[in-house]
Amino acid sequence: MGTIYSYFCQDCGFSLELRVGVGMMFFDPKNFLGMIPEEDREKAADLLDQKGAVLEEFRFQTFSCPACKHYESKLKGVISLGGRQVYQTDLSCSQCGSPLEEQDHFQPPGVCPECRSRNLITGMGEWD
């Protein structure tokens, strides 16, 4: 079961929703194909069909962008073949395109990243 974190600024309306972990659909590697961009599906399907192919790190993860300070959740998935990484989901910032950094221990924002207000509503729940 995955965890979802939500943040809402009562002053400017900024909102952020972050998903972390896996749900029931993550136990079948073929479900991965429906979650990646359409232009990558054929390549990823061909790789997964090869003998010895392994889908690793198939989960939602929280990332931050060092360039623009944006936080987001991304689907992370790596296909390895013979111990060598042959495919990885796109882990670039949706705002500026810079490479993202994985956040193992996400710290919730203490202030709104848009208006710097401390008037934030936070929530946490589970998803499957």
Q: What's the pLDDT tens digit per position in 18-27?
A: 999 887 777 7
Number of domains in the chain: 1
- pLDDT bucket at 89, cuts 50 / 70 / 90: very high
Distance in angstroms (rounded) separating the CA atoms of residues 5 and 125: 7
- pLDDT bucket at 14, cuts 50 / 70 / 90: very high
Strand stretches in 1-128, DSSP E: 2-9, 15-20, 53-64, 71-81, 84-88, 101-102, 120-127
Distance in angstroms (rounded) separating the CA atoms of residues 93 and 50: 31
Checking if the pLDDT of 34 tops 80, the result is yes
How many C-beta neighbours within 10 Å does residue 94 have?
A: 12
pTM: 0.82
Distance in angstroms (rounded) separating the CA atoms of residues 62 and 109: 13
pLDDT digits (tens, 9 = 90+) for 53-77: 999 888 999 999 999 989 999 999 9
Q: Residue 85's domain spans which residues? A: 2-127
pLDDT at 24 (0 to 100)? 77
